[in-house]
Amino acid sequence: MSEVIDLLAQLVSIGSVNPMGRDLSGPDVLETGMGNFLEQWFRENDIPCERQSVEPARDNIIARLEGGSRTVLLEAHQDVVPVDNMTIDPWKPTIQEGRMYGRGSCDTKAGMAAMMTAMRRLKIESPSDAPTVIMACVVDEEHQFTGISAACRTGLQADMAIVAEPTEMKIVVAHKGVVRWNIVTEGLSTHSARRDEGVSAIVRMAEVIPLLERYHAEVLRPRTDPMLGNATLSIGRIQGGTSVNTVPNRCEIELDRRLLPGEEPIEAIEEVRTWLREQGDLEFEPTFEPPRVISRALRPPEDQAVVELLSESCDAVLGQHTIEGVAYCTDASVLDHAGIPSVVFGAGNIQQAHSADEWIEIDQVEKATEVFYDFLLRAGRVRTPESIR
């Protein structure tokens, strides 16, 4: 087993479930164990690191390898999604037919292992023109992006960044953002036998939902980006009522609004509020709760150095490179809006992320490690603007 695959197996065996707002507990929940392992690994490999507390039992691990004047940031998240309904043992890394199975193997411990291995190799070989390398292993990417947001608030800086995610070894330069919030309708509870004396919050919500569907069709579907397609609004959850024989006094829906570059999350929420007021004939005012998740879209970087250097590394290792945009969102947008030109790259296919039998191709992980190392070598070489195609 190669060094990077052995490291990946160790990472997969450590539970680091993000509760995603649910009431989950146990040794496999939150990132404590993962943070402990990462801190020990960096120190054993003589790479200085610090522990940054974000929330109880959730610490970023920030490692730094001093080098030249150019600073490169490698970023990967520690957390994984819950393991409900998995068909394999989530914490038992198993290799079959060139794949490693286990929760997080694809999203995104493969990327983390590849970055860590490339950083360790740079430490051992110590080329004279190596850049300064920061590796940020952050918490809570899967739910609220609090880890990378905390790192940026405390002064994380770099000239360029690669964020590890399963992109099939394609260079992602743009992706959608997201804002999530709840809309609540309120009514008046009574016994169901006297329903006309009450007001059903569920019936009221039934008036709101068709208006939201019209908003998506008439306003967002025509709003497009050449790389990312159209903006969207999706109603992902609905909850209301306490018992079948009680007229419900509260109903809530949770919305997921995918943002295009240039769209602001709060403005997107207010646009929905205005639509309901202007297009609907509602005799009540739905309540908009504060958003729980806010992440702007990733824009193609104005400084193309990171794209050019990573393209060259892909050409050298893989024989080609592909640049694209994707619909999902990542920590890269937080880095981008903090002023760090960022792209997303890594082994694996997003279709395997979060799946019931999550897996990653071993060959891709090993090749991603080579791409990351080649990129670090190229990034350390000082280049004039004229030398960048």
Most distant CA pair in the chain: distance in Å? 82
pLDDT on residue 24: 94
How far apart (Å, rounded) are the C-alpha atoms in residues 180 and 192?
33
Delimit the CATH 3.30.70.360 region(s) of the chain. Answer: 177-294
Alpha-carbon span 35 to 284, nearest angstrom: 48
Q: What is the pLDDT of residue 189?
A: 97
Hey, what are 190's tokens?
């009574």
Token representation of residue 128? 């004279």
Query: What distance, in Å, lies between the first and last C-alpha atoms of the chain?
Result: 38
Strand segments (E) across 3-102: 49-55, 58-65, 71-77, 94-96, 99-101
Best CATH choice for the domain 3-175+297-387 from the list 3.40.630.10, 3.40.50.300, 2.40.50.100, 3.90.180.10 = 3.40.630.10
What's the pLDDT score for residue 267? 98
pLDDT mean values, one per 10 residues, the chain (389 residues): 96 97 93 98 98 97 96 98 97 97 98 98 95 98 96 96 98 98 98 96 97 98 97 97 97 98 97 94 95 95 96 98 96 97 98 97 98 97 49
> What's the confidence (pLDDT) of residue 382?
61
**Measuring CA to CA, which residue among 41, 78, 83 is closest to residue 60?**
78
The model's pTM: 0.93
Cα angle at 33 between 27 and 34, to 5 degrees? 130
Predicted confidence at residue 388, as pLDDT, reads 37
Residue with tokens 């809309």: 183
| Nearest by Cα to 137 from 155, 159, 164 | 164
Q: What is the CATH number of domain 177-294?
A: 3.30.70.360
Single out the residue of 108, 107, 103 nearest to residue 92, CA to CA: 103
Residue whose structure tokens are 């394609």: 170
Residues forming CATH 3.40.630.10 domain(s) in the chain: 3-175+297-387
Answer yes or no: are the C-beta atoms of 169 and 144 closer than 8 Å: no
Radius of gyration, alpha carbons of the chain? 23
Neighbours of 79 (CB within 10 A): 24
